[in-house]
Structure 1
């Protein structure tokens, strides 16, 4: 494949990932994503991970893979695909190159303009860092990565095709105060709440764009604007978007689950209601320390803090739920879903987030002063 064909392939990705007139279109068409992917990635094979190696598929196929608008996983449970990973691996992804259209959407939401100083939390493979560098210049981009091995690979990739931005190995949840204030912060990891240190490092009127997620698997992209008092307010963008959790915000080791009989009653809200993104979000907000899992197609909840659990099963004419422990988890979930229904069962774009100057964080439905809101864990 000659240089012209390579450029045409990258422009094909830009057309997939960017709207017409997007200020990021040239960056996507120029940055060689295949370099950021390294020499191996993981492909999902129905719950297990198979390694795809660049030398095996060849440079042309590798470029075409990189120019697909899809996420490529590069690390599973701390094992990088480049590090002689086994051909068949179980576990959860811990690093990836997010699909370019979602990366571009987050950069668009941040409202980044020429001359802005930007903080990126989660360097990952370095691809989104490279897009920022291409548009803004290396001196205006700061990127923080917590994993030293991942940070080293990203630095090598970035230096392969240009001067490196300011790259930091450290806790991204603390930001990087040495180069503050920033005009915008974009996080490529999911958080349960917005770290207050982020807000403190953004100028008044600047933006924070991040994925708010939790232990029940619901998530949404939030754009918040920093206020004069150091708090912030914003809304969910509405489109689905999921990122791996920031490591301190991930749930702990999953304990064995035993179905305790507990108190049994009919479900007032059918469990399949959780398939709707809005219902899943309010359920998670109502039971923030619970994890959602499925057994035989039926949802079950277990609370990390108290050991409480709720598990559902089909009955003759619907569903029943068994609840055990000090928290009535399914009661909390049903109450939240019924409030969401009363508001018209809206999508994610009906939700917003407010953060006070003393770091009280709430997600609300409709408007900040409405009756339906839930606190975030901080």
Structure 2
């Protein structure tokens, strides 16, 4: 058995023992697909760097293969253009991650959560390195899988890797948010990027009764993984799943460029909630639902919300005599909205996202706590 096959088997054992790999067919895919063909050189984050820096880990160097078979997300592109092979060994670089090979446990968990069955036709949105695509092609067959990638350079690299690994699913380079430009009739759709709302094209390309697995995110980068069932053309309903899932947001849905933040004066009052709650996983999700155009910064009781489009701001600090103070700047009262949403969530018992539902139609997209008559928020379609 080759070293890479041994590492694949060891990783599959770890994922099975951890409860991720519960389906023998998907375990077989994990043991068969050589991840090193899809990752190549990658970036590793430099520990304790004040501004996040990355160092390249080049294919074939010491530790490279072991790194490939760790259960970690490996960054393969920065700023939409810089790849690890572009950087000399020993150098470091600053940048924003724009393409990656997602940690295997998440990829395999999502394939299982999709409830895909033999014979299903699947549309994958976001080919990326092609590793997830290869897992799907191994399990379903090349003729049952179509994958769409936005970036032509990334797409070409994935196509080469898939060919080298012996897989030939249908690959498209184009706007991922439009899905398959040649039509639909899919039983399942799985997205390996996050979006602020579900694109209508996806809802028309999945059959009634089919399912869409997608991560909903936003400009504060809080995320929730939703499993939707398509009811009819352009209409779906679903729920959020347990656990913690995060993907890079699709570029057309990412926040616009912003200038350097300048904190400006505003109206001051006591905060009715502990600001630290919006730094928790689900608390940040609720805050983002309430203020979808705002970006969140800060830690603990010192939080900042900034809406670039309107200039609205809210910032919190511990109060001098206890409690917390918030300063808000119009025109949008960001903290008022967040406060109201958090208090609804707290009144419901602070459920994790699996206690939330989502409804999608041409009339709008809405996330709610619990049933249809419970408090909810419209997504920024």
For residues 157-177 of structure 1, the C-alpha deviation after alignment (integer angstroms, 9 at most, x for no partner) is 111011321111100100004
User: What SS is found at the alignment partner of 1:144?
Assistant: strand
Question: In 1, distance between residues paired with 2:86 and 2:77?
Answer: 12
Deviates more, 1:345-354 or 1:76-85: 76-85
- Aligned match of 1:376: 379
For residues 315-349 of structure 1, the C-alpha deviation after alignment (integer angstroms, 9 at most, x for no partner) is 32232111112111011100000000000111111
Contact 2:275/2:300 (CA < 8 Å) preserved in 1? no
The 3 A distance-change label for structure 1 pair 295 and 221 is: closer
- Contact 2:303-2:316 at 8 Å conserved across structures: yes
Question: How is 1:238-277 mapped onto 2 (pairs within 5 angstroms)?
Answer: 238-277=242-281
In structure 2, runs of 5+ residues without a counterpart are: none
Per the alignment, in what secondary structure is the counterpart of residue 133 of structure 1?
Answer: helix
Q: Which moved more, 1:203-212 or 1:315-324?
A: 315-324
Partner of 2:45: 44
Aligned to 2:4: 6
1:337 corresponds in structure 2 to 342
1:290 aligns with 294
Deviations 1:264-297 (A, max 9, x none): 1111111111133222111101101011112797
Stretch moving more, 314-323 or 324-333: 314-323
Long gaps (5+) in structure 1: none
- Residue 360 of structure 2 corresponds to 355
Match of 2:195 among 182, 186, 191: 191
Q: Give runs of aligned pairs for residues 154-165 of structure 1, distance below 5 A.
A: 154-165=158-169
Residue in structure 1 matching 2:210, options 206, 215, 219: 206
Give me the whole-angstrom Cα distance separating, in 1, the residues matched to 2:298 and 2:310.
20
* Corresponding position of 1:54: 59
User: TM-score by structure 2 length?
Assistant: 0.93
Matches within 5 A, 1:12-31: 12-17=10-15, 18-31=20-33
> RMSD between aligned alpha carbons?
1.6
CA distance in 1, matches of 2:73, 2:213: 19
Secondary structure of the residue that 1:221 maps to in structure 2? strand
Q: Is 1:110 the counterpart of 2:114 in the alignment?
A: yes
Contact preservation (8 Å) 1:16, 1:101? no
Q: TM-score of the superposition, structure 1-length normalised?
A: 0.94
Matched length: 370
Matched, 1:278 2:282: yes
Measure how far apart 1:195 and its partner are.
Answer: 0.4
Structure 1 consecutive aligned stretches of length 4 or more whose deviation exceeds 4 Å: none
Q: Distance in 1 between matches of 2:119 and 2:293?
A: 41
SS of the aligned residue for 2:61 comes to: helix
Q: Residue 94 and residue 361 in structure 1: after superposition, are their counterparts in 2 closer, same or farther (change >3 A)?
A: same
| 1: CA distance, partners of 2:125 / 2:307 | 29
Deviation (angstroms), 1:371: 2.6
Q: Which residue in the other structure is 1:121 paired with?
A: 125
Give 2:332's match in structure 1, choosing from 319, 327, 337: 327
Q: How far apart are the structure 1 equivalents of 2:94 and 2:24? A: 38
Q: What SS does the aligned partner of 1:245 have?
A: coil
